[in-house]
Amino acid sequence: MTSGNVPTLDARIERWPIEGNFTISRGAKTEAVVVVADVTQGNTTGRGECVPYPRYGETPEATLAAILSIKDAIGRGLNREALQAAMPPSAARNALDCALLDLEAKQIGIRIWDRLGRLAPHPCVTAYTISLGSPETMAAATAKAAHRPLLKIKLGGDGDGMRIAAVRKAAPDSELIVDANEAWTEANLEQNLAACANAGVTLVEQPLPAGQDRRLAHFKRPIAVCADESVHDRASLGTLRERYDAVNIKLDKTGGLTEALAMADAAIAQGFDIMVGCMVATSLSMAPAMLLAQQARFVDLDGPLLLKHDRDGGLRYDGSLVYPPEAALWG
């Protein structure tokens, strides 16, 4: 940070209604609950947004408290590098990391990718998510999105063969990726993978529960398998190479863009394909991930498309093509 006025930190919980509902194997929700951090120095404010995830024991209230617990340290000049050691990887650290990056870019007057020595992001195709439901419900939702080049299909265990067959029939030309959200078992793993292969699915995310995925290393996988809940940051990459072909990098898991970029570099060096993922949230959550998208085989940054409305000045979406953020939004 530059010298001058003492930096201040504020944070708040925001709720953004979802268009319809969003259903995965762990349940459904009708709103996105995010926590936003603002770090202000002088007349300049940097912003970051995160999504607390109950799967990892996070709540909006606890995340807000964790962010505000760093308030005094921010006032004493805690910078982004020191933040990595001051807080564990979490949604809270993500919001702070991204806010500090945004502030840094605005104070210097250059885009954050130039500051970090990264390639300027270009528009990329994002997946569009089809929620879990009956085969008929999913086929109907898929038919409405069949013009999109990449669809992400939420599956949930028993009956997934019928679901993916119905989806494929409704979208014969779209590339399909599947997210099981840990809902498959060793008993139905091979059957469900075969059904996905028969439907021409390109990738399956997290078929088995994290910590119970050793079976993936002991047979020839008919399609690529991606770790999500099994991978969080660089430290979790080492044991996964025999089980997974790709890793899903999400800023709320890595604790911010700083670790996410380092993790992407490490994952590529170890031979993994990269997927960039998101939670359902506004464009302020997606914007930093656009830097990661430049290294990714799969981009899943459709969170704002699932909301009734996005925040003002959000990312530009042209169908499934998502454009880099304007400076006023982030970075």
Task: Return the active site residues.
Answer: 154, 250
Secondary structure (H, E, C), 95-133: HHHHHHHHHHHHHHCCCHHHHCCCCCCCCEECCEEECCC
d(CA 243, CA 94): 27
Ramachandran sector of residue 287 (left: φ over 0; alpha: ψ -120 to 50; beta: rest):
alpha
Helix axes 91-108, 257-269, angle to 10 degrees: 100
CA distances from 280 to 15, 23, 52, 128 (A): 11, 11, 11, 11
Residue 196: other Cβ atoms inside 10 A: 27
Q: Give the count of alpha carbons within 13 A of 301, CB side only.
A: 34
> Which backbone phi and psi does 154 adopt, to 5 degrees?
-85, 125
Nearest Cα to 283, choosing from 232, 235, 229, 322? Answer: 322
